[in-house]
Each structure stands twice: as structure tokens, then as C-alpha cells.
Amino acid sequence: ADNYYGYDDAIFASCRLVELLSKSDKTISEMLSDIPKYFSTPEIRVDCPDEKKFEIVSNIKNYFEKDHKIIDVDDLHQL
């Protein structure tokens, strides 16, 4: 990317955003209007004894994979 120095930095990102906005007649909302909107749900944490966790996840997977595509690489996701 242009002017990328190989590190993550919030101040640099903010300055870069201000630079892009200053060179455009569009508002930030107009610039972002073409980007698809994604929704995120909060993480749900349930206390569970360690010895039961794998059994519960396996049961959930078995239940949902009957009707849904499941990804279980790092954890369990329903598509």
C-alpha cells in the first residue's frame, strides 16, 4: 500500500484518513458507501467445566450439520 511503513499504528491510520478526506470532495460516508455492510454479534461466553466442553461442542456440531454447512477449523461456525 502507498505510504505504508510496515507497522500498525492508530495515529498513522488516522492521519492517513484525514489526508484522504482532504484530497476528496466526498464525505467519509460517501467513500464508505460502496463497502458491504457486515454484522457482528458479541461473543457469548458460558461457564462450563473443561471436561464437558468438547462433548458439548460435538453435540452442537452434530445437531447443526444436519441442515447447515459447518466450518470447524478453529472453532465452530455455521454458514
pLDDT tens for 22-69 read 999 999 999 999 999 888 888 888 888 988 988 988 898 889 888 888
pLDDT of residue 41: 86
Q: Is the pLDDT of residue 79 over 60?
A: no
Residue 67, domain member (yes or no): yes
pLDDT of residue 71: 81
Q: Is the pLDDT of residue 1 over 70?
A: no
Q: How far apart are CA 36 and CA 12, in angstroms?
A: 25
Give the range of the structural domain holding residue 39, as residue numbers without chain letter: 10-78
Q: Structurally, how many domains does the chain consist of?
A: 1
Say which residue the cell 466442553 belongs to: 53
Q: CA-CA distances (angstroms) from residue 18 to 13, 27, 70?
A: 9, 11, 41
**Are the C-beta atoms of 76 and 68 separated by less than 8 Å?**
no
pTM, rounded to two decimals: 0.41
Residue 25, domain member (yes or no): yes
Residue 60, domain member (yes or no): yes
